[in-house]
Amino acid sequence: MFRSCCAALGCSAALFWAGAAVPADHASWHVGEATRVFHPAVARHWREARTQALVTTIWYPADPARPEVAHDIGAPGHRLFHGHPAAVDAPLSSARATYPLLVLSHGTGGSADSLDWLASALAAEGYIVAGTNHPGNNALEPLTRDGFMLWWERATDASEVLDGVLADPMLGPHVDRDRIGAVGFSLGGYTVLELAGARTNLAAFERFCTSPEADAICHPPELARLHEDPGAPPLMLAALSPETKASQARVGDSYRDPRIKAVFAIAPALGEAFDSTSLADVTIPVSLLAGMADVTAPVDTNIHRIAGLMPKASITMVPRASHYTFLDTCLPGAMERLATICKDDPGVDRDVVHAQTAQRAVDFFATALPAGGA
C-alpha cells in the first residue's frame, strides 16, 4: 500500500507499509550467477587495497535447463546471510536477444553479495546485474584508509565494471546498450548518484561534521574496522600519499557515465556532501528509497536532503525499517553475533521489505529504461 508524503520537499513521494503482502507476480527467469575479475587497462590508484582488481559478481537470466541451487553467503563455516538459489555459471538465457544491464554498488565495508536479495530479484525479472567489491572498502579484505576516505573513486569502479561487462564475450553481445542503469545501497547510493552526475563538496561535508549539527553519518560504525589495524597510519594530511592527494584534488569533478540512463539509490549516504549546485547536472531519472527508522544515515541529512535538492526525483520511505534492513536476511546463527546488522524493529519483516523494495526497483526501471527505447 502506498500513499503520498513528503510534500514539503516538493518531490514525487510515496510511503509503503512493510507489513503489506509480498507482490504476487512470479519470477519469469531462472537466476544465473557468475564471477568476473576485471583488470582495467588504465593505470589507477587502488586505494592500498590487497586485491588489485575489480572482483565482480554477476546475476543474470539463466538458461532454464540449468537448475538453481540453494546457497548461503559468507565464508565456509561462517555463513552470514540467506542467499537466493542460483545456477552457477549457467549459460545466459537465449529467450531474448538482449537484456538491460544494471551496475550495483554496495555500502561501506560491505560486498556485492550482501545485496544478493536485490540483485537476484532483478535478474529474475530479466536484468543483468553486475556488482563489484569496491577496493579497500569491502567485507572480504581489511578496510584501508584510502578505501574509506576516497568515496568519489567508487564511481570509477562502477564505470570500469561496465566496460568489463560490455567487453565480456558471454554477456557483452547480449546487453541492450540503450537500457543501462545503476542501483546502490548506502555509500553505494551516493556512488550511483555520482554516476548520474552529482558532484561532491568535501569541504561542506567536513564543515557539517565539525559543527554542532554533526550526526551519525560522520562516524560510521565501519570506521572501527580501520582502527582495529595497529599498523594503520593516522587519518592526517601529512601521511597522505601523492596519489591520495591527487584524488582529493579531483573530489569535485564529475563522474557522470553517460551510458547510465537511470539510478535507484537505497538509503543514500553523504547527503551533506551535496550542496545546491552539486546535483544540477543530474538529468536522468532518479528514485530514492530509505527506512524511516534509519539512524545510521539519518533521513533528514541524507535522503530528505538529497530529495530536497532534486525536485524531480521520486522518494519512498519505509516505515520502521532501519539502515541495515536493506542487507541480506541473516541466518539464525548470525543474529546474536551481528545484532546491529541483523535485527530489525518489531513488526518489520525484512523479507517482505526486500520483496517490496525489489518490486519498486523493477517498476522504476521498467519506466526509466523502457523496452524499445520508448
| pLDDT score of 42 | 85
Share the mean pLDDT of the chain.
90
Instruction: Kindly state the percentage of the chain with pLDDT values over 70.
Output: 89
Nearest one of 368, 169, 168, 363 to 286, comparing CA atoms: 368
Give the mean pLDDT of 150-173: 97
Write the pLDDT tens digit of every residue in 186-195.
999 999 999 9
Q: How many CB atoms lie within 10 A of CB 209?
A: 15
Contacts of 78 (CB under 8 A, 6+ apart): none
pLDDT at 23: 41
User: Cell numbers of 283, please?
Assistant: 538529468
Can you list the domains of the chain with their CATH numbers? 16-373 (3.40.50.1820)
Q: Which three cell numbers stand for residue 74?
A: 559468507
Of the candidates 149, 153, 114, the one whose C-alpha atom is nearest the C-alpha of residue 131 is 114
CA distance 290 to 113: 20
Place of cell 567508487: 154
User: Cβ(101)–Cβ(130) under 8 Å?
Assistant: yes
The percent of residues above 90 in pLDDT, for the chain, comes to: 79
Q: Among 115-119, 193-197, 220-224, where is mean pLDDT lowest?
A: 220-224
- What is 19-72 written as a DSSP string? TSPPP-PPP-SEEEEEEEEE--SS----TT-SS-SEEEEEEEEE-TTSPPB--E
Task: Give the pLDDT score at 373.
Answer: 60
- Whole-angstrom distance, CA of residue 64 vs CA of residue 244: 47
**Could you give phi then psi for residue 128, rounded to 5 degrees?**
-90, 130
Q: How confident is the model at residue 233 (pLDDT cuts 50, 70, 90)?
A: very low
Cell digits of residue 23: 507482490
Helices 154-167 + 187-196 axis angle, to 10: 70
Which residue intervals of 92-153 are DSSP H helices?
116-123, 145-149
| pLDDT confidence tier of residue 14, bands split at 50, 70 and 90 | low
pTM > 0.85: yes or no = yes
Q: Give the confidence band of 221 by pLDDT, cuts at 50, 70, 90.
A: confident
Q: How far apart are CA 15 and CA 3, in angstroms?
A: 5
Sort strands 286-291 and 314-318 into parallel, antiparallel or unpaired.
parallel
